[in-house]
Amino acid sequence: MENEGGPQLIGVIGAGIMGEALISALIASGRQPATITISEKREERAAELIEKYGVRAASLRANVQSSDAILLVVKPQDMATTLDEMKESIRSSTLVISFAAGKRIEFVNSRLGSAIPVIRVMPNTPTLVGEGMAAISIGTGVSASQVGFVKDFLSATGQVVVVAEELQDAVTAVSGSGPAYFFAFVEAMVEAGKELGLPEDIATQLSVQTLVGAAKLLDTSGKTAKTLRENVTSPNGTTAAALASFTKSDLAGIVDKAMTAARDRSQELA
């Protein structure tokens, strides 16, 4: 359902894969396609989304002028140019929702003006299948109805938490980049399975379903990861042997170093 008092007209700047996922979420949360306008440089891509969702398309300037809320789904390196193009057209009451990794609310306000209400979002790629994790940080001057609007449509993509902006770099390291850690682990399991003699398709199926099932068990059992790990680990058994190898290789230290590197790079992108 739409939030009472929330934005009536919504602009989406950048209609790539994530932009499309957000369009779908807006519609799933109750927004009418006719209230959503996209700005996309690739004409064939714009036509595709108009055909698929029934949304409208407009130039960036026209979209910004008419929208009550703008979803900025552009690459961090394109952010400054996009904001500069928006500056002359945006109204002071228009909510800007930024999905650009590493770009702080202060950066958006420095380009558009301090009066513009801004919400910063760090999503992740499972958003594309409705199992995303989004963390939002709220700038000054953002109304309760605007926060409600963002929480509402992001809930259609998965789960949403609110964090202080200084924690967004840590969020990036955990959930923003996190899916890639999972994919890398699956790749490693598949390759190890092949080394042990399994055909690639069987090794892939075994690895993927095992991790999907383990994640579902963790999500629904109400038990901690530590408890579930202990439950499946028999003394001197096969799982214990594998986990001992992980410990010897300092798995916890490897993960800590990797996530710290992701956090540090997010800070550099600011």
Among residues 154, 145, 263, 116, the alpha carbon closest in space to that of 107 is found at: 116
CA distance 58 to 63: 6
For residue 153, the tally of other CB atoms under 10 A from its CB is: 27
Cβ atoms of 93 and 83 within 8 Å: the answer is: no
pLDDT at 267: 87
Residue 1's SS3 state is coil
Q: Is the pLDDT of residue 2 over 50?
A: no
Q: What is the mean pLDDT of the chain?
A: 94
Greater confidence (5 vs 215) lies with 215
pLDDT band at 161 (very low <50, low <70, confident <90, very high): very high
**Residue in this structure with the two tokens 């010897």, named with its chain if needed:** 248
Domain boundaries, given as residue ranges, for the chain: 10-168, 178-269
- Say what the pLDDT of residue 172 is: 94
Report the C-alpha gap between 123 and 261 in whole angstroms: 19
Architecture of domain 178-269: Orthogonal Bundle (1.10)
pLDDT in tens, 10-26: 999 998 999 999 999 99
Q: What are 48-74's pLDDT values in tens digits?
A: 999 999 999 999 999 999 999 999 999
pLDDT in tens, 174-224: 999 999 999 999 999 999 999 999 999 999 999 999 999 999 999 999 999
What tens digit of pLDDT does each residue of 97-124 get? 999 888 999 999 999 999 999 999 999 9
Class of the CATH-defined domain 10-168: alpha beta
Please check the confidence at residue 1 and state whether its pLDDT lies above 80.
no
pLDDT value at 238 more than 90: yes
Q: How confident is the model at residue 5 (pLDDT cuts 50, 70, 90)?
A: low
- Chain-centre distance for alpha carbon 253: 26
- In the chain the first and final C-alpha atoms are separated, in Å, by 35
